[in-house]
Structure 1
């Protein structure tokens, strides 16, 4: 893997400080980068990790990563909405798993992504988050371990904002609101979740963006990321997502329920630029 970065820190910083303090990489990753002499000048000369870098200095990072173990599948089409040296954002259709649960599974989004990147000479692809099989929308995928580490930490700190659009049954009374009810596994059903005081804290913010007599369109932001959170919370509010029969919605002709992760926003962890990717609304 090879990519370049430009030093933007206003104060003198060493490579040691960059990887430990700014990027907060793990000890194993830092050791691997050090042993491979990964930080170099554009001419390929290894840099001293203890020497302060100059603002505006161009650094080339070259290293071998362990690679990912997904089986590349050309049968899964990949539609990138954004791509650079560090990550890509792709659209996942409803009905497709984000990743395999067993090594024998080959027909998931990640199998298609790995084929897409493998054809470009990349050996690494790991999803930063996932979507339920029945949910469509944007998925963020790291192209090297450094990006994965940085993006994982941003996700933990809620610095990656994902906005969902759902069409729910009935007329939601309030134009906006917050649902704060804990969620737990439903012991009577292997895949369903339920509201429970003994469950994990779950917080969902919603805003109404469209109405008709039978349905309401809402945009949703998650403050927590529990399994089926939006589906459980909207059903708890009395407005299950259209087509989501697992949570009490009426059966419809469409194959999948009406939920899409349509926007993702964050500061690029390496360049600092704003990344704002959105699936156009109809």
Structure 2
């Protein structure tokens, strides 16, 4: 995606070199190199300049992020996308169940990436897949994607600093305590590529917080937040405390009431990577999980 950003230099950045200014704004080394290699990638008062050029008060610095190629090996496939928000920098999608995030060896055309590739192809726009919060194939809910390399590097740093708040809703078997914290290291299970397990000796640190919202029909609806982000963390931790998610084909293949794990990415709260505006998105509990409770 192409993106133009304009900065009017004030007292704070007078006598900064352009490269230092860009790094201060969160541009990564990779993005700055791309700008240097792009014709008219960096303009000062309308003129092409080197990044070691010194800025003065009142200067107009223009950054042109130009991307003309799309992600390779992602086949455009027409798909219904529940787009909750989109601007020049981000897109937020409420993902359905049974849709993987990106292509894999056994699934190259039924993924969110395929649907987005088609969505932008019909607009004649290049598409590079940059997903910030990956969900499992059968987990529903909010997915945040960056539309250009600058918003991607800002959001990636925000995730590293835990500045993007994510809340999940899960339905678990049995009655949970009113609230709790699960602190149990997670590791890949021996002889398995996919399955994870609690491993107190060799596992990586994993902490999950939950709060009971409702109990009915021997199912608990819980709000869940993660202090760490391990693969299958919620699913593994809930099984570990004796309250697995129904419909989980790996950890609890109980399909009596639901045909996929009862897990939903419910809320995202963060500051916009470019405008810094506070943003909050909420995806309601899907029908199949509502039926359980």
Which band: TM-score by shorter chain? 0.7 to 0.9
> Which residue in the other structure is 1:151 paired with?
155
Quote the offset at 1:31 in angstroms. 2.0
CA distance in 2 between partners of 1:47 and 1:237 (Å): 60
SS across alignment from 1:271? coil
Structure 2: 5+ residue runs without aligned partners? none
CA distance in 2 between partners of 1:73 and 1:224 (Å): 33
SS across alignment from 1:266? strand
1:119 matched to 2:119? The reply is: no
SS across alignment from 2:194? coil
Which of 278, 284, 287 pairs up with 1:280? 284
Tell me the TM-score normalised to structure 2 length.
Answer: 0.84
Alpha-carbon spacing, 1:166–1:54, altered in 2? closer, same or farther (3 Å): farther
Dislocated runs of 4+, deviation >6 Å: none
CA distance in 1 between partners of 2:264 and 2:47 (Å): 47
Q: Is the 8 A contact 1:208 1:217 kept in 2?
A: yes
SS across alignment from 2:115? helix
Alpha-carbon spacing, 1:91–1:184, altered in 2? closer, same or farther (3 Å): same
1:18 matched to 2:10? The reply is: no
Deviation sequence 1:151-180 (CA, Å, 0-9, x none): 11111111111111001111112x111111
Alpha-carbon spacing, 1:140–1:256, altered in 2? closer, same or farther (3 Å): same
Structure 1: 5+ residue runs without aligned partners? none
1:86 matched to 2:89? The reply is: yes
Alpha-carbon spacing, 1:62–1:208, altered in 2? closer, same or farther (3 Å): same
Quote the offset at 1:122 in angstroms. 2.4
CA distance in 2 between partners of 1:191 and 1:58 (Å): 48
CA distance in 2 between partners of 1:45 and 1:56 (Å): 11
Q: Aligned residue pairs: how many?
A: 279
Q: Is the 8 A contact 1:5 1:271 kept in 2?
A: no
Alpha-carbon spacing, 1:104–1:251, altered in 2? closer, same or farther (3 Å): closer
Q: Is the 8 A contact 2:9 2:56 kept in 1?
A: no
The answer to which of 112-121 and 101-110 deviates more is 101-110
> Which residue in the other structure is 2:36 paired with?
34
Q: Is the 8 A contact 1:166 1:259 kept in 2?
A: yes
CA distance in 1 between partners of 2:78 and 2:37 (Å): 38
CA distance in 2 between partners of 1:8 and 1:252 (Å): 62
Deviation sequence 1:157-212 (CA, Å, 0-9, x none): 11111111001111112x11111100111125442211111111101111111112
Alpha-carbon spacing, 1:106–1:39, altered in 2? closer, same or farther (3 Å): same
Aligned Cα RMSD in Å? 2.7
Which of 191, 196, 202 pairs up with 1:193? 196
SS across alignment from 1:75? coil
Alpha-carbon spacing, 1:7–1:141, altered in 2? closer, same or farther (3 Å): farther
What does residue range 153-192 of structure 1 map to in structure 2 within 5 Å? 153-173=157-177, 175-187=178-190, 189-192=192-195
What does residue range 202-281 of structure 1 map to in structure 2 within 5 Å? 202-248=206-252, 250-281=254-285
Deviation sequence 1:98-127 (CA, Å, 0-9, x none): 001239812211111111122223212321
> Which residue in the other structure is 1:2 paired with?
3
Quote the offset at 1:39 in angstroms. 3.1
SS across alignment from 1:149? helix
Alpha-carbon spacing, 1:90–1:275, altered in 2? closer, same or farther (3 Å): same
Tell me the TM-score normalised to structure 1 length.
Answer: 0.87
CA distance in 1 between partners of 2:41 and 2:86 (Å): 23
SS across alignment from 1:233? helix
